[in-house]
């Protein structure tokens, strides 16, 4: 089965027969089976290929790939990674050899090798995602996108790996790249919503943390303390300030009369309440932002 026919399921690469319909509907993440391509006579180069080294490498590529699929389905992820890695090494040798001027690799064989390389990289990205090695997962997704830039599974896995690594800015950027190439995909849209929510929460947490840090910052010991600020902390200053305010009120009462003093006090309270209400509205709005 070709890769294009199974792009609907994100975590289940092409040709996976083990996945049931519930898994396909529930999640297109990584809880699925690896990609598999049928090993048909048409898809393999024949033994009459002039380049015998390519022909000898091809069976081992298919064998290791199929063994990797079996191990993965049994839950042996490390074993599957080992087998798929061997297949990729063999394919890399063949693909590099095909770049030489006097190579005997046909176009059909080269296309088949490239498809298998993409499939194996997709499988390895899935395996590393299950192992929670998110950096390796992203690495193999990038290999997939080198040959198939619209590969939905690769885009989804990169975004999921970035979220797990808490690289939310990268996750949002990669999600937007995926949406440009797959604008109708609901999973990418859902991931974008999740990322935006996480970014908002992160900004709030960062703001609270910054306020706490600034409160704990002590003054620079190299800076001379303000003598007036030191004086204001003393009990002597507070008592004298209270006496001063009492005499000031008495002076205002004697000078202007009790009525004027009372009006002034009421006016100051009214003015203070208006200012304080405006300040409260301002700070509540800034907190919401």
Interval 66-98: pLDDT, tens: 999 999 999 999 999 999 999 888 888 877 777
Pick from 86-95, 129-138, 269-278: least confident:
269-278
Task: Tell me the C-alpha distance between 176 and 170, whole Å.
Answer: 10
Residue 186 has pLDDT above 90, yes or no: yes
Q: What is the DSSP letter of 103?
A: -
Pick from 7-21, 169-183, 274-288: least confident:
7-21
CA proximity to 69, closest of 44, 38, 114: 38
Report, as an integer, the average pLDDT of 110-116: 87
Task: Tell me the C-alpha distance between 177 and 198, whole Å.
Answer: 19
Q: Which residue has the higher pLDDT, 25 or 135?
A: 135
Task: Tell me the C-alpha distance between 151 and 121, whole Å.
Answer: 12
**266, two tokens:** 């009421």
Q: What is the mean pLDDT of the chain?
A: 74
State pTM to two decimals: 0.57
Pick from 6-20, 199-213, 225-239: least confident:
6-20
Distances (CA, A) of 94 to 87, 98, 104, 113: 11, 6, 11, 8
CA torsion through residues 124, 129, 130, 133, sign: positive
pLDDT value at residue 50: 28
pLDDT value at residue 94: 79
């Amino acid at each position: 089965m070709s890769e294009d026919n199974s792009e609907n399921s994100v975590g289940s690469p092409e040709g996976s027969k083990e996945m049931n319909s519930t898994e396909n509907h529930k999640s297109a993440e990584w809880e699925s089976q690896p990609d598999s391509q049928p090993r048909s006579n048409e898809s393999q180069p024949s033994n009459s290929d002039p380049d015998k080294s390519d022909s000898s490498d091809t069976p081992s590529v298919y064998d290791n790939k199929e063994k990797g699929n079996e191990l993965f389905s049994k839950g042996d992820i490390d074993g599957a990674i080992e087998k798929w890695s061997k297949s990729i090494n063999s394919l890399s040798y063949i693909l590099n050899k095909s770049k030489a001027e006097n190579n005997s690799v046909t176009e059909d064989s080269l296309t088949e090798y490239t498809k298998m390389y993409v499939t194996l990289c997709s499988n390895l990205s899935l395996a590393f995602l299950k192992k929670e090695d998110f950096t390796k997962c992203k690495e193999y997704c990038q290999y997939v996108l080198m040959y198939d830039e619209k590969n939905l599974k690769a885009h989804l896995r990169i975004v999921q790996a970035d979220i797990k690594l808490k690289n939310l800015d990268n996750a949002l950027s990669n999600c937007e790249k995926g949406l440009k190439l797959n604008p109708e995909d609901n999973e990418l849209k859902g991931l974008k919503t999740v990322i935006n929510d996480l970014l908002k929460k992160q900004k709030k947490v960062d703001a609270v943390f910054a306020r706490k840090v600034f409160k704990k910052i002590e003054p620079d010991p190299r800076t001379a303390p303000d003598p007036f600020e030191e004086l204001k902390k003393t009990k002597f200053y507070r008592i004298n300030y209270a006496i001063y305010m009492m005499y000031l009120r008495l002076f205002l009462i004697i000078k202007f009369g009790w009525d004027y003093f009372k009006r002034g006090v009421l006016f100051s309270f009214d003015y203070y309440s208006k200012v304080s209400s405006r300040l409260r509205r301002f700070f509540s709005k800034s907190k919401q932002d």
